Structure 1
Amino acid sequence: MPSTDVVELILKDHRRMEDLFRTMRNVEADRAAALADFAGLLIAHASAEEDKVYPALRRYKNVDGDDVDHGVHEHHEANEALLALLEVKDTASDEWDEKLEELVTAVNHHADEEERTLLNDARENIADARRAELGQAFHEARAQYLKADCGSVENVRELVAAAGD
């Protein structure tokens, strides 16, 4: 049975995002399909973290609440970069490459920071059984977001607008 440890599930998504970035950088690949996969994954992943994982992490005294807040802020930045790429029509254009690199920078920065702060704190301070519970909740929420086509340009546009309010 695959792991339900929330830390492992989040790391697995981060590695999948890196794979999709490689595909989106490849001029011979189906960049539009990779972007559609990426958009769904990014939005479902971040939304499930914000719904199920971050609130739980806030309750642990050895997990820095500022790191949680910063993670949410970086999700908004990644959503803005994602929207900018989703709105580029020509996947062979210089604009596509430019917007892709902006997205890569935003997402990789966040993933790296999250792995060094929140996920390490979670590993050290949260019991295995609780991490498994959080992982199950994360997995279920993520699946619901994916089923709802959360990566559509319309939905990403709404998320970006809502974060700007």
Structure 2
Amino acid sequence: MAATKDVVDLILQDHRTMEDLFRKMRSVEADRAAALSEFADLLIAHALAEEAEVYPALRRFKNIDDEEVEHGEEEHEEGNKALLALLEVEDVGSDEWDEKLEELVEAVNHHADEEERTILNGARENVPMERREELGAAFLAEREKQLAADCGNADNLRRILKD
């Protein structure tokens, strides 16, 4: 369980964990398939929890741009497509796998960087800590629910992309 309840800090912690998992997926010394599986679950649970609990609440605060929130959701879809493409590569560590991994890294890092600069800084400036902690609890609950449901598997990802 995370020490913080602030939704901004929780989201940032997930972003740093994703960066660590990218390093493992790039390393020939690591269990790259296991790192991918862990990453897939985290990315999907994280994005679904943001879209269900965080983004709708942030839309209600002035000075948090609706367009930035909508753009964040579009970038989740781009990340999901890149993740599915990587999950569908059979030979872990092949040239194709490395290529799809780099496309995923680029999509997710672009989104995380943009989200941190726009949405999360807006939340820090405009959302009271008490509300950020309420959102953090809701974010964690939804994230845990998704993780328990094995949300990062390719079949679930295909369902999400169809919706």
| TM-score exceeds 0.5 | yes
What does the per-residue CA deviation read over 1:13-45, in whole Å, with 9 as the maximum and x for residues that have no partner?
000000000000001211110000000000000
Q: Which position in structure 1 is the counterpart of 2:12?
A: 11
Aligned residue type for 2:10: L
SS in 1 for 2:132: helix
Aligned residue type for 2:9: E
Q: Which position in structure 2 is the counterpart of 1:66?
A: 67
User: Taking structure 2 as the reference length, what is the TM-score of the superposition?
Assistant: 0.98
Q: Which position in structure 2 is the counterpart of 1:24?
A: 25
For 1:156 and 1:125, the matched residues in 2 are separated by: 33
The CA deviation at 1:49 is 0.1
Q: Which runs of 4+ in 1 moved over 6 A?
A: none
For 1:123 and 1:64, the matched residues in 2 are separated by: 13
Q: Unpaired runs of 5+ in structure 2?
A: none
The CA deviation at 1:161 is 2.2
Q: Which position in structure 2 is the counterpart of 1:129?
A: 130
User: Taking structure 1 as the reference length, what is the TM-score of the superposition?
Assistant: 0.97
For 1:94 and 1:161, the matched residues in 2 are separated by: 28
Q: How many pairs were matched up? A: 162
Q: Which position in structure 1 is the counterpart of 2:38?
A: 37
What does the per-residue CA deviation read over 1:62-114, in whole Å, with 9 as the maximum and x for residues that have no partner?
10000000000000000000000000011120000000000000000000000
Aligned residue type for 2:16: R
Q: Which position in structure 2 is the counterpart of 1:103?
A: 104
For 1:21 and 1:161, the matched residues in 2 are separated by: 26
Q: Unpaired runs of 5+ in structure 1?
A: none
The CA deviation at 1:160 is 1.6
